[in-house]
Amino acid sequence: MANDKMDIETAEANLKAMAHSEQHYFNSYNHHGIHEEMLKDEVRTRSYMNAIVQNPHIFKDKVVLDVGCGTAILSMFAAKAGAKHVIGVDMSTIIFKAREIVECNGLSDKITLIQGKMEEIELPFPKVDIIISEWMGYFLLYESMLDTVLYARDRYLNPDGLIFPDKATIFLCGIEDGDYKDEKIGFWDNVYGFDYTPLKATALCEPLVDTVEMKAAVTDPTAVLTLDLYKCTVEDLAFSVPFKITARRDDFIHALVAWFDIDFTACHKTIRFSTGPHTKYTHWKQTVFYLKDVLTVQQGEEVECNMLVKPNEKNRRDLDIKIDYKFDAQDALRKAEGTCEFKMC
Ligand SMILES: C[S@@+](CC[C@H](N)C(=O)[O-])C[C@H]1O[C@@H](n2cnc3c(N)ncnc32)[C@H](O)[C@@H]1O
């Protein structure tokens, strides 16, 4: 017990020595509340459970690395699936609770939990057979935890090793969102009789993480980024991609909404879950990017867009996002063109 107390004190001191943004990030995972939210996200946690527990023929006798193990839920799934040994790594102090949880479940001989930053610790195995990790942030890439998984892959994964999950795709579509845009953005035009428009620009710059109803979708979805976790590099996480959205009906487009799908293709039968508006709620919700213009579109018309995404230079965990749109409608009054810059922080 005295040893554990010392470990926790050392971990807290190490956290305090980190850059402020890193402290803020890891401290957010110290509290049980955020883990409760993730564990209660059934779409997320059951997909991982099924991908691991339904594939004992893949996990049997393998050495497994759980990158960012949190409360060790994925580590315990892997142990249950027959892994020879599981190593869980987490910088946050939640890992001390994870050790108790692993012990309560009689899995301490199968699971080793290491407190520290993945990039700084040394694993007790030179190589691992399987990497499991739940690294996805809002809009998939916010928080940049994928960098850490790619580091673990390059440093520790056997050449024929597996990654769970191994594929991620970001989708976008145009939505009608007049009422909510008015509530969130138009609100600043008149606040108790005062002109608050200086805050309107700020509000427009922040993508909104919220649930979007399927009926709001005005265009078909389009994939803007697909990541193959066996091959992608940190450089691929900054990208600029042109894309088109096509109107399904006559309507107005106030915003683009983004979500992501996750695939575990190494399973016997691919397991996939989506965080889109067309399916069950997840704690990632969707991410809404309001456009400056309202686009008045007719069924079949296309809007040409480009999305640029890159980690912020000062804080890699934040994202700078730029959306260009050009709507070349037949009648001049409906034509629109613009650029919107967003910061996710
Ligand atoms: C999204 S949570 C997932 C927790 C757990 N795997 C689960 O599925 O419930 C990500 C965890 O990764 C940890 N983490 C992120 N980056 C890390 C790094 N570079 N080194 C160690 N831990 C990290 C965080 O502290 C956090 O607990």
- Look up residue 152 and give its amino acid: A
Question: Mean per-residue pLDDT for 5-19?
Answer: 91
The reply to whether omega before 159 is within 30° of 0 (cis) is no
- CB of 77 closer than 6 angstroms to any ligand 1 atom: no
- Look up residue 337 and give its amino acid: E
Q: Per the structure block, which two tokens stand in for 84? A: 């020879």
Question: For residues 42 and 280, what is the distance between their CA atoms, to the nearest angstrom?
Answer: 9
Tell me, yes or no, whether 157 lies in a domain. no
Shared domain for 129 and 181, answered yes or no, is no
Q: What distance lies between CA 243 and its chain's CA centroid?
A: 21
Q: What are the tens digits of pLDDT across the range 117-170?
A: 999 999 999 999 999 999 999 999 999 899 999 999 999 999 999 999 999 999
134 catalytic? Reply is yes
Tell me, yes or no, whether 45 lies in a domain. yes
Show the domain range for 108.
1-134
Q: Which residue has the tokens 């600029």?
A: 240
Tell me, yes or no, whether 140 lies in a domain. no
Shared domain for 337 and 219, answered yes or no, is yes
Is the pLDDT at 255 greater than 60? The verdict is: yes
313 catalytic? Reply is no
Q: What are the tens digits of pLDDT across the range 57-103?
A: 999 999 999 999 999 999 999 999 999 999 999 999 999 999 999 99
Instruction: Report the mean per-residue pLDDT for the chain.
Output: 97
Sequential DSSP letters for 89-140: EESSTHHHHHHHHHHHTT-TTTEEEEES-TTT---SSS-EEEEEE---BTTB
CB 209 within 8 A of CB 165: no
Least confident of 3-12, 243-252, 253-262, 290-299: 3-12
DSSP state of 107: -
Q: Per the structure block, which two tokens stand in for 267? A: 């399973």
Shared domain for 83 and 209, answered yes or no, is no
Final residue in a domain of this structure, among 114, 134, 154: 134
Shared domain for 69 and 172, answered yes or no, is no
Q: How many CB atoms lie within 10 A of CB 160?
A: 6
Shared domain for 21 and 93, answered yes or no, is yes
Final residue in a domain of this structure, among 115, 134, 153: 134
Sequential DSSP letters for 71-84: TTHHHHHHHHTT-S
Final residue in a domain of this structure, among 119, 134, 149: 134
Catalytic residue among 42, 134, 176, 213: 134
Shared domain for 289 and 335, answered yes or no, is yes
Shared domain for 228 and 109, answered yes or no, is no
Is the pLDDT at 42 greater than 70? The verdict is: yes
Tell me, yes or no, whether 31 lies in a domain. yes
Q: Per the structure block, which two tokens stand in for 133? A: 């990790």
- CB of 134 closer than 6 angstroms to any ligand 1 atom: yes
Shared domain for 245 and 117, answered yes or no, is no
Catalytic residue among 12, 143, 176, 213: 143
Nearest CA to ligand 1 atom 8: 134
Shared domain for 111 and 187, answered yes or no, is no
Q: Per the structure block, which two tokens stand in for 44? A: 């997320």
Q: Which helix (H) or strand (E) holds 13?
A: helix 2-16
Q: What distance lies between CA 123 and its chain's CA centroid?
A: 25
DSSP state of 314: S
Tell me, yes or no, whether 143 lies in a domain. no
pLDDT at 2: 56
- CB of 74 closer than 6 angstroms to any ligand 1 atom: yes
CATH number at residue 125: 3.40.50.150
Total of domains in the chain: 2
Tell me, yes or no, whether 142 lies in a domain. no
Shared domain for 93 and 195, answered yes or no, is no
Is the pLDDT at 269 greater than 70? The verdict is: yes
Q: Per the structure block, which two tokens stand in for 97? A: 């609770």
Tell me, yes or no, whether 145 lies in a domain. no
Shared domain for 125 and 219, answered yes or no, is no
- CB of 152 closer than 6 angstroms to any ligand 1 atom: no
Q: Where are the beta strands (DSSP E) in the chain?
A: 63-67, 85-90, 111-115, 128-133, 157-164, 167-175, 208-210, 222-228, 239-246, 251-264, 271-274, 286-297, 302-311, 319-327, 336-344
CATH number at residue 248: 2.70.160.11
Shared domain for 286 and 180, answered yes or no, is yes
Tell me, yes or no, whether 268 lies in a domain. yes
